[in-house]
Amino acid sequence: MNNYLVWRFKRLNSVFYILVALFLTSCASGGNSRYPASMVKVIPSSHTWQYLDSYGDEDTGYATYSYVLVGRDDNNLKSTSLYYELIKTIQISTVNAEELRAYVPSDRLNIFIIPIANTNNVNNIEPNYKLSKSLLVALSTTTSLGFSRPGPYIVTLHLPIGTENDDKLVDILYVDLTDVHPKVIPEIVRKYSEKVIDNELNSIEKLSLLRLSLLNIALHFEDSIGFAKLAYASMRSSFTD
């Protein structure tokens, strides 16, 4: 009887060690991914920005990732002009991630990701149109959104684009600036930034542009009036000469 109990104890003990080994193996294999399969989605409390010079090189650990993208290259003067204005506005209104690293935990921040061409000249940074379009294609294959318009776009996710995600649905907030007036961009960035830190992403949502559309129309109308005044002045001067 005693021998039987000893045998049972040894058997249970070996099973225990096998289970422990399997658990440690599964943990080790899970450590190879950039993020755990299931993660707590945190609402950021502020914003920062950072350049991206190659696919998949985003810093990890941020609450949300807001990609600043454009669907055309510099052959499309309108979209690239808007893109430059968008990048400039974001950089004016937020702090570079390198400057914040020592002061603010990254998991409390939304980071604006700006694709750039790989260059060592910090005084001559150029947008990376190829990388930008590749990121839009990657988004199009993992969501129901096409992102086929020129843009520019801002697209916000909980994880970097390309990160393996066990969730069936990808939570996205985005705005399409294809048809906006350049003077509206600062207001769009302000409103978009507020939206990101006010709400947890839990669906695919497009930033509401109703009020901004009215402002957009007003600015176009203002430009038209300016042109009309200029044309009238030229016409009048031709008659008086």
* Per-residue model confidence as pLDDT tens for the chain (241 residues): 555 444 444 444 443 343 333 333 333 333 333 334 345 677 888 999 999 988 888 988 999 999 999 999 888 899 999 999 999 999 999 999 888 887 888 889 999 999 998 766 666 778 999 999 999 998 888 777 788 898 999 999 988 987 766 655 578 888 899 988 888 889 889 989 988 988 777 777 778 665 555 555 555 555 545 444 444 444 445 445 5
Q: Are residues 21 and 76 in the same domain?
A: no
Q: Are residues 10 and 126 in the same domain?
A: no
Q: Are residues 25 and 50 in the same domain?
A: no
Q: How many residues does the chain have?
A: 241
Task: Return the closest-CA partner of residue 96 out of 117, 133, 122, 73.
Answer: 122
**Starting at the edge strand that comes first in sequence, how are the strands of the sheet with 172-176 ordered?**
95-96, 46-52, 109-115, 64-69, 153-157, 172-176, 204-206
Q: Are residues 6 and 61 in the same domain?
A: no
Residue 240 lies in a domain: no
Domain residues for the domain of 28 are 1-32
pLDDT at 169: 57
pLDDT at 144: 73
Q: Are residues 21 and 129 in the same domain?
A: no
Task: Return the closest-CA partner of residue 181 out of 85, 70, 50, 52.
Answer: 85
pTM: 0.72
Rounded CA-CA distance 116/131 in Å is 8
Q: Are residues 190 and 216 in the same domain?
A: yes
Q: Are residues 25 and 143 in the same domain?
A: no
**CATH number, domain with residue 133:** 3.40.30.10
Domain total of the chain: 2
pLDDT at 213: 55
**Helical pair 77-93 and 185-198, crossing angle rounded to 10 deg:** 60
Q: Are residues 93 and 171 in the same domain?
A: yes
Q: Are residues 52 and 25 in the same domain?
A: no
Rounded CA-CA distance 140/123 in Å is 33
pLDDT at 87: 95
